[in-house]
Chain A
Amino acid sequence: MKLPRLALLATATVMMTTAPACQHETHDVRPSAEVSQAGPGVVLSTLFAGGVPSAIAGTLQANQENAFAMNEGKRLFDAYNCSGCHAHGGGAIGPALMDAKWIYGSAPQNVYDTIVEGRPNGMPSFRGKIPDFQVAQLVAYVRSMSGLAGGFWAPGRNDSMQVKPGENTVSTEAPVRAPGAPPP
């Protein structure tokens, strides 16, 4: 009885330290500081064959399963004054981000667009102010605030005063459209 349990535990430990954990904090040590957010310019057509290509899509997706990106996002959330308007997720001048309500969409690309383009009721456009890779880290962190990243990847504690439960303990609720949100 004793041996199999030990063996099971050992196997589990080996699996945990090898399989997902080796990507747990993968990070690009030399990210491009590129700001690919071209000015809005004049949109001549809304027809894009095969949809709009997004240079950032791959990074946004990869960051959804990357603890390092989320932790960096958490640091940047203060550094770029996001917390001045959204507090630590509870909201203040801007809406709460730790609840399940989304006004402008919860998909990584939606959140990216919200940060870069701004939104009409007070969200400023950060176009040209934040490098792409950092916006992508912010996107990953913002989604983790309401549990969309899953507890495995999300930050577990604050480096500062504990003002809310850790992001990794937030139960994942299905995103809902906030009252008054524009149609998808």
Chain B
Amino acid sequence: MRSPLQPPSCKLATLVGAAVALLLAMSAATTMSGCRERTATAARADDAAAQWPMVGKDYQNRRFSELDQIATANVARLKVAWTFSTGIPKGHEGAPLIVGDTLYLVTPFPNRAYAFDLHNPGGPPKWIYDPQPSAAAQGVACCDVVNRGPAFWQGKLFFNLLDAQTVAVDAATGKEVWRTRLGDINHGESMTMAPLVVKGKVLVGNSGGEFGVRGWLAALDAASGKLLWRAYSTGPDGDCLIGPDFHPFYQQDRGKDLGVHTWPPEHWRQGGGTVWGFLSYDPTLDLIYYGTANPGVWNPDMRPGDNKWSAGIFARRPDDGRAIWFYQWSAHDLYDHDGINENVLVDLPLGGRTRSVLGHADRNGYLYLLDRATGEVLSATPFATVNSSHGVDLKTGRLIPADEKKPRQGRVVRDVCPSAPGAKDWQPMAFSPQTGWFYIPHNNLCEDIETTDASYIAGTPYVGASVRYHAGPGGHRGSFTAWDPVAGKAVWTLSETFPAWSGALATAGGLVFYGDMEGWFKAVDARTGVLLWKFQTGSGVIGQPVSYRGPDGKQYVAVFSGVGGWAGAVVSGDLDPRDATAGNGWGAAMKDLPGRTSKGGTLYVFALP
């Protein structure tokens, strides 16, 4: 059944190290969790393919399942196996995790965690953990009260609470092991991202780029929750853990204290660069990768300079957080183009040799391939409509902005593509080693923007821009694209009525799964994009689909339904679309969504009959 089809254009990512680490984590998980051991469980736990132990599936962030029971030939018969209603009418951007014979999920605020015994599909939860974060935190969550999922490591489940705390829960019992407060909602900080655990360190970052917070990535000891290091995204080199080992590839990123000097005096204290996206890890190079978000205050006239280290990517050592290299996707970001989109680690044949690269589809509309050892940009190709820039200068590494589309205070600049949510927002893409292609859920949106003066009042929004989005060329608001990174072009593209705001999942069955904001969860042929199956879940799908093999030997596909998030706040927040700027730009663009879907979070699990 297995089809180890590998076209010459593509090599299976060689991260054997990652696979080994994963197996170690798995076996440790089952022995240390202390729960009843079953031979079958142990056997299953050794089978990495059966599991989904982190939101991106593996350290490379590929979101590829090696299971092939559900395949192009039979997916049309896919049926609901079981469901679970979270009872929360907010955006569900999370991913369930599957470790051993248990499925774990974390809801949006109030961030409850649930564990389900997979021997009893549809049965009641094994345990429920209610961390009771502060309700006031909802007032500093820019884009609905989402949570992007937990992490699992050696018998513990780790996740972030909206009010800027990280918790560890005993995966066997649901009892809290530790809780660490990392930020302050009174200064606009919240936490929504999925942690990544590397070498016993729980890596977490903050949200709050629309509140003038100062971004950081922190490492907590998985055993105790103790803060081991924290690397800021703005300010002096010492705070950013930049030292003698820091060797950025481009001249523009070299110099002392650029996190201070590329800002107006003291502005770095409100400089943004939050860390709310997905992390990746390359065990061979021993580097973690993550993006930094938009610089503080959207209005670019208020912050002349390159605004380092916002809207870029850091490569750091997991042990002590020291920076190894940095690259800035959008120096002096003009449009709220956070650089947090996931970095997918793959090895590709480029220029006659195999290169260890990371693929990154940025808000600014370019799909970047970077050498992941050095941060050199190998290519930057537009994957969506872009008129706000003229490309990336590969000599200097700089994005070349289009003068006529630059926001200027007191002037309305019209039809800027891509818009603030970008050509692609948080919605994570997948990579299939079978095809060698990225599968990118993304947006087709342009905007009108007027920038205005903004006052900084701690704990309140710090934006200084009025924006309204509209559909880009073609009139559709979203797309789902299969992208060949070696050829540097789209293989096929599906038009979506609304932004494709869910994650993507690729499987060895030759399938790609994603959901749309009207509630349809879909399976398409990975090679052709032909729609093979769809199911109406009842509420817009913005979650991250995953796949696992149950104790019964069957392959399952699971996904959250539950509209919301930034794009879906018109529904989840009962916004009034007569205001084109409702939801910070979405009012006019999403005015028909309330008539097409309604609120409510449910986990759906599908299998063949």
Contacts and interface: CB of A to CB of B under 8 A. Distances in A.
Given A95-B574, A161-B466, A122 B137 contact: yes
A121 B468 contact: no
A164 B578 contact: yes
Contacts of B582: 87-92, 96
Given A90-B577, A96-B575, A96-B579, A84 B139 contact: no
B141 interface: yes
B180 to A, nearest CB: 23
A90 B581 CA distance: 7
Given A85-B461, A93-B142, A164 B579 contact: yes
Nearest to B414: A161
A122 B188 CA distance: 11
B139 A99 contact: no
Interface stretch (A9-17, A64-72, A74-82): A74-82
A176 to B, nearest CB: 13
Contacts of B578: 89-90, 98, 164-165
A48 to B, nearest CB: 27
B325 to A, nearest CB: 34
A129 interface: yes
B573 interface: yes
Interface stretch (B62-70, B224-232, B252-260, B450-458): B450-458
A163 B581 contact: yes
Interface string A88-111: 111111111011010000000000
A137 to B, nearest CB: 16
Interface string A135-165: 0000000000000000000000000110111
B452 A160 contact: yes
Interface string B456-474: 0101111100101000000
Contacts of A99: 576
A66 to B, nearest CB: 24
A173 to B, nearest CB: 12
Contacts of B576: 89-91, 96, 98-99
A96 to B, nearest CB: 4
A124 B576 CA distance: 21
Contacts of B584: 87, 92
B583 interface: yes
Given A99-B576, A121-B135, A121-B136, A87 B141 contact: no
A153 B452 CA distance: 26
B29 interface: no
A123 interface: yes
Contacts of B463: 81, 84
A81 B457 contact: yes
Nearest to A158: B466
Interface string B569-609: 10001111111111110010000000000000000000000
A80 B579 contact: no
Contacts of A80: 455, 457, 460
A84 B135 contact: no
A87 B135 contact: no
Given A81-B455, A122-B135, A91 B580 contact: no
B583 A90 contact: yes
A119 to B, nearest CB: 9
B583 A91 contact: yes
A78 B210 contact: no
B138 interface: yes
B462 A163 contact: no
Nearest to A94: B139
B210 A91 contact: no
A123 B460 CA distance: 10
B412 interface: yes
Interface in B372-392: none
B344 interface: no
* Residue from the set B576, B578, B583, B587 with the largest chain A CB neighbour count within 10 Å: B576
Contacts of A120: 135-136
B452 A78 contact: yes
B581 A87 contact: yes
Given A84-B463, A93-B142, A163 B580 contact: yes
B465 to A, nearest CB: 10
A121 B138 contact: yes
B579 A89 contact: yes
A92 B584 CA distance: 6
Nearest to B449: A161
Contacts of A129: 457
B139 A93 contact: yes
B583 A87 contact: yes
B71 interface: no
Nearest to A96: B576
B468 A124 contact: no
Contact of A160 (B135, B450, B459, B575): B450
A88 B448 contact: no
Contacts of B140: 93, 122
Contacts of B139: 85, 93-94, 121-124
A165 B576 CA distance: 12
Contacts of B575: 87, 90-92, 96
A91 B450 contact: no
A137 B142 CA distance: 26
Contacts of A98: 576, 578-579
Contacts of A94: 139
A124 B460 contact: yes
Contacts of B457: 80-81, 129
Contacts of B142: 93
A161 B451 CA distance: 10
B450 A88 contact: no
Nearest to B460: A81
A89 B468 CA distance: 14
Nearest to A161: B450
A122 B136 contact: yes
Given A87-B582, A163-B468, 7 more contacts: A88-B579, A91-B574, A93-B138, A93-B139, A93-B461, A95-B574, A101-B574
Interface of A: 78-81, 83-85, 87-96, 98-99, 101, 118, 120-124, 129, 160-161, 163-165
15 contacts: A81-B454, A88-B581, A89-B576, A93-B140, A96-B574, A96-B576, A98-B578, A121-B139, A122-B137, A122-B138, A124-B136, A129-B457, A163-B468, A163-B579, A163-B581
Give the 5 A-B CB pairs with smallest separation, nearest first: A84-B461, A122-B139, A90-B582, A90-B579, A96-B576
